[in-house]
Amino acid sequence: MRITFLGTGTSHGIPVIACSCPVCKSSDYHDKRYRSSIMVEDGDTVIVIDTGYEFRLSAIRAGIKKIDAVLYTHSHSDHIMGLDDLRVFTHERSLPLYGSRDTMDHIENVFSYAFSVHDWPHMHVDKEEEDALRELKKHNYGLPLLERHDVSPYESFRIGSLEIKALPVMHGMMEIYGYRIGKFTYITDVSKISERTMDEIRGTEVLVLGALRERRHPTHFTFKEAYDVARESGCRLCYFTHINHETSYEDINRRYAPLCLSSYDNLSLEV
Ligand SMILES: [Zn+2]
Ligand SMILES: [Zn+2]
Ligand SMILES: [Zn+2]
């Protein structure tokens, strides 16, 4: 199974607009972060977790050619706003999207045009226009063709060769999902993990954890909090993601290696 980080930044991304702090001004490419998202490939199966604002840019950068499904952690805008660009993957068939009922309700609300059945408005057209319309209809009038799948907490489901389990975690007051896929677990935007979910994480070889910064935050782990979870999980290696501009890539690694490393955009690893 191959994991590729499509983005590793917090909701602002790095550099932050109009910021001239050392990390935003850094010339180290590790310090340039799109909004957090990953791709998981296993043989012929390709899934993506979250589609933030830079989904199109990251898909081009990572050379994504097909997607079998998209999993959503939650519906904050930095995790969903690239959804419309999924339409290039829905020319031949509809694309299944997975998430909690709350997440899917919110996504369907924001992108309502992509979830309704489309038909061309009644109007008088000549033969040539009719052919053009038929061609357009084949491609769902240029709109994404999406299939909604609501997943319950701790529910397992299969996509191609991958067995996936939804792991509820707390993001402030909000329950969101991480996902365990074999020996790999992806959890972003997390501030509290229950005992039950901790038990589900144990045995993970590579763990990705949202870790915002050194200072405390009401809805995100600090680096230290994430580090403690990584230790408790028994994982071999933990990558921090959803990182903000207060700490450089180099400083994070200096402080938290060898157990925890900062992820960076386009990092690809075999699990
Ligand atoms: Zn986020
Ligand atoms: Zn900055
Ligand atoms: Zn969030």
How do residues 118-177 score in pLDDT, each as one tens digit? 555 556 677 787 777 777 766 666 778 899 999 999 999 999 999 999 999 999 999 999
* 72 Cα–ligand 2 center, Å: 27
Return the pLDDT at 128: 81
Quick check: is 243 in a domain? Answer: yes
Indicate the pTM of the whole model. 0.93
**Nearest-angstrom CA–CA distance, 49 and 63:** 16
Could you list which residues have their CB under 5 Å from ion ligand 3? Answer: 76, 189
The pLDDT value recorded for residue 80 is: 98
Q: Does residue 265 lie within any of the structural domains?
A: no
pLDDT score, position 143: 79
Q: What is the pLDDT of residue 130?
A: 75
State the ligand closest to the CA atom of 33: 2
- pLDDT < 70 stretches in the chain: 117-124, 137-141
- Residue 268 in domain: no
Residue 267 located in a structural domain:
no
Q: What's the CATH code of the domain at 98?
A: 3.60.15.10
CA of 252 to the centre of ligand 2 (A): 16
Question: What is the domain extent for residue 98?
Answer: 2-259
Q: Is residue 202 part of a domain?
A: yes
Our count of domains for the chain comes to 1
184-187 vs 174-181, strand pairing mode: antiparallel
| Within a domain: 270 | no
What burial class does residue 221 get, using C-beta atoms within 10 Å of its C-beta: 0-12 exposed, 13-18 middle, 19+ buried?
buried
Ligand nearest to the CA of 172: 3
Whole-number Å distance, alpha carbon 242 to ligand 3 midpoint, is 9
User: Quick check: is 271 in a domain?
Assistant: no
Inside any domain, residue 264: no
Q: How far is the CA of 10 from the centre of ligand 1 (A)?
A: 6
The pLDDT value given to residue 115: 81
